[in-house]
Structure 1
Amino acid sequence: MRWCPSSVLHLLCCVRLRSCSRRGRNRLPLWIKEIWVYMRLLVQSLYFNSLTDSDVVFDSIFEPVFWTVDYVTRWFGLVFVWLVVILTSSIVGIAYGVLLPLIFNTYSPAWIAWHVCYGHWNLVMIAFHYYKATKTSPGYPPTEKHDSPFVSVCKKCIMPKPARTHHCGICNRCILKMDHHCPWLNNCVGHFNHRYFFCFCLSLTLGCAYCSISGRNLFLDAYNALEHLDLEKPGIPVTGMGLLIGLLPPGQTNFQTPAPPYTFRDKMIHKSIIYMWVLTSTVAVALGALTIWHAVLISRGETSIERHMNSKEAKRMAKRGRVYRNPFSYGKLNNWKIFLGVEKRSHWVTRVLLPSGHAPLCDGLTWDSFPVKKDIIPV
């Protein structure tokens, strides 16, 4: 017989707390008594549960940690979203206010056309996929009776779960083909918005790499300019500076130069370029690693959660001399076609290279098991 739900456990805590208060055993604060009684009942519940295993013990011990992480992530999700919007908007503002005028004044018409076209395409892809990833529901299993097969029952929702469905403690409900809960989206990544999430990560990585590579020389020039300006302030000796030593009068080695005419606007332009390059380079490396990891998972037909589960299952079957096979893998090419929703050749342009709001190819409730390796989707 499995132990009673959390609501009954909370009721028992209250009854136990009142009993302790009536007996007058101690005069500790009420909140300490509540924590003590709850932890005591939590430990005792392990001995009255016939289904107790290592997972139950682990979940019980780390329940306070899980609750804290879920609570903080739930309430700070909106802050993370605004942080993404503010940082991205600052880079776009620098690109329009600083980089575009430099491009128009120094580059050839061919390079100007390339930067304008690619930059705006990349910006549209980032904005579109981020908006869709945050606003699109990841997909939830139906709560009413349905004919779709289910493989287990959620221990927290007490509802049947279809294959590849997992419970999110932050959203407090089950998610179809759940990958993870992303605080930067303030949303779960599931069956219906997984493509938007990956395309956003890929677009943002490409955009940051583009800014980092194309702005490298501007960053070096801005950094050197600010460094020389600090050295050229009034009252600071310039002995040892090769550029200025040649301009000194004969026999004079410590000449005090006046500050060059340098406006506040020029200094802010240099600092903006440095800020843009450092931020985009950092994001390109960090987010690029995450994007590559998700690309590998997509090629294998796995989610982040399934990766750990499949790895554990593969080790268990290897001990028995058997090879584990992922039942949801259709082959690398077909996995990408199914993930991206590509059904014909033109979709590589209309659904991949251009923003597209098409739905996945299946409903997320039923999945084909052990498909053949042949190309099930025409090129």
Structure 2
Amino acid sequence: MRPCSTVMHLLLRCMRGCGRHSRSRMPRRLRQPASYIKLIFKSLYFNSLTNSEVVLDCILEPVFWAVEVVTRWFGMVFVFLVVALTSSVVFIAYFCLLPLVLHTYSPGWMMWHICYGHWNLVMIVFHYFKATNTPPGYPPKMKNEVPFVSFCKKCVIPKPARSHHCGICKTCILKMDHHCPWLNNCVGHYNHRYFFSFCLFLTLGCMYCSISGRNLFIDAYNAIDEISQPPYTYKDRMFHKSVIYMWVLTSTVSVALGALTLWHAVLITRGETSIERHINNKEAKRLAKRGKVYRNPFSYGILNNWKVFFGVEKRSHWLTRVLLPSGHTPYGDGLTWDIYPLKKDMMPV
């Protein structure tokens, strides 16, 4: 029998089989057309690659598209909000709290507040500026320049290990963690450290303002009904309202951003990004069914993961590269990840 005849024979058998199940439901003359339509419909979606995740992605595609458009167009708005809210807290600290510190605190506490507050502010401003203005890193366009492990169907370029496509930036990103609307930028290989340091020092700054301003907030909150009446002046009312605004804002941000910072700290400890966390979980479950244990190939141990992330090569770098502003580039080029072929502590503490 010829191949074409074989295919036609199989189609006829399928149509006859479908017709047997529907004899009692429709007239004889409609059975064959209905079976043919049903067969065509099944051929449109049935293949070996179709699963629940593919179907869910197709259903949610309009939602993803809307989120991408909103994030892309409102990126500058989010950046403006970060700058405006941070500037408002700094303004209140300088014009409301600093004069109070200079008049009421002892010299030792006064020097502590001035030194710590300004150091924290410099670290926040530096890392936010670098995180927003540093490109995350993009893979080369030419195939012979990339040690690729897969191919991006959207960019139509080879993808190195740990690279992923960003639907908002419309390009692939080296060691992509996520697209951050508050930075209006992707977090990738070259600005991941800036992003985490910004979150860390902003959390510390908000906690500092919340803790140090707690007593002032309680006094201002208890006097909220009295400040609208004499002998309180307009300046007194603005002072109390500013203290309440600053404490509520910094306390809220310290909790929310602190949780995000803690989550990223856990990821850094494990040597993975936010995207890789989901991929590794799925891979671990898949291998667990086969009785195997999945190990992250990009993890070099807890201490080394932090050293690689911060670029620490010697002990002094914990001060010069972590606790002070530093614009040094990360390890490697984001294309290969054989920094430590042997997974042991190979750098001095």
* CA offsets 1:264-287 (integer angstroms, 9 cap, x no match): 110000000000000000000000
List alignment gaps of at least 5 residues for structure 2.
Answer: 1-40
- Partner Cα separation in structure 2 for residue 269 and residue 153 of structure 1: 58
Q: 1:329 aligns with which of 299, 317, 331?
A: 299
When the two structures are superposed, what TM-score results if normalisation uses the length of structure 1? Answer: 0.78
> What is aligned with 2:245?
275
Amino acid paired to 2:71: T
In the TM superposition, what is the alpha-carbon distance from 1:44 to its structure 2 partner? 9.8
Which of residues 315, 328, 343 in structure 1 aligns to 2:313? Answer: 343
Aligned twin of 1:261 = 231
Structure 1 outlier segments of 4+, above 3 Å: 43-56, 145-148
1:289 aligns with 2:287: no
8 Å contact kept, 2:176–2:187:
yes
- Which of 198, 203, 206 is the aligned partner of 1:205? 203
Q: Secondary structure at the match of 2:179?
A: strand
Q: Secondary structure at the match of 1:321?
A: coil
Deviations 1:276-302 (A, max 9, x none): 000000000000000000000000000
Residue 45 and residue 303 in structure 1: after superposition, are their counterparts in 2 closer, same or farther (change >3 A)? farther
What one-letter code is carried by the residue in structure 1 that aligns with 2:75? G
Tell me how far apart the structure 2 counterparts of residues 278 and 158 of structure 1 sit (CA, whole Å).
48
Deviation at residue 223 of structure 1 after TM alignment: 1.0
Mapped to 2, the partners of 1:369 and 1:92 lie a distance apart of 41
Q: Classify 1:49/1:314 alpha carbon distance in 2 versus 1 (closer, same or farther; 3 Å).
A: closer
| SS of equivalent residue, structure 1 residue 146 | helix
2:335 corresponds to which of 351, 354, 365? 365
Partner of 1:377: 347
Deviation at 1:225, TM superposition (A): 1.6
Residue 284 (structure 2) pairs with residue 314 (structure 1): yes
1:56-86: per-residue Cα shift (whole Å, max 9, x none)?
3332222111111100100001000000000
Gap regions ≥5 residues in structure 1: 1-42, 231-258
How far apart, CA to CA, are the structure 1 residues paired with 2:192 and 2:61? 28
Q: Contact 2:143/2:158 (CA < 8 Å) preserved in 1?
A: no
Alignment match, 1:244? none
Deviation (angstroms), 1:330: 0.2
2:314 aligned counterpart, secondary structure: coil
Structure 1 residue corresponding to 2:111, chosen from 107, 110, 113:
113
Deviations 1:181-204 (A, max 9, x none): 000000000000000000000000
The one-letter amino acid of 2:279's match is M
Among 165, 168, 193, the alignment partner of 1:167 is 165
Shift of 1:378: 2.2
Q: Percentage identity across aligned positions?
A: 76
Distance across 2 between alignment mates of 1:217 and 1:344: 42
Q: Give, in whole Å, the separation in 2 of the partners of 1:196 and 1:45.
A: 50
1:23 aligns with none
TM-score, normalization: structure 2? 0.85
2:62 alignment partner in structure 1: 64
Task: Report what 2:91 is aligned to.
Answer: 93
Aligned to 1:301: 271
Q: Deviations over 1:354-374 (max 9, x none)?
A: 000000011000012984332
Residue 218, structure 1, aligned to residue 188, structure 2: no
Looking at structure 2, the residues matched to 102 and 146 of structure 1 have their Cα atoms a distance apart, in angstroms, of 64
Residue 148 of structure 1 corresponds to which residue in structure 2?
A: 146
Alignment correspondent of 2:6: none
Report the Cα distance in structure 2 between the residues aligned to 1:146 and 1:362, rounded to whole angstroms. 18
Equivalent position to 2:187, from 172, 182, 189: 189
> Number of paired residues?
309
| C-alpha separation in 2, matches of 1:50 and 1:159 | 25
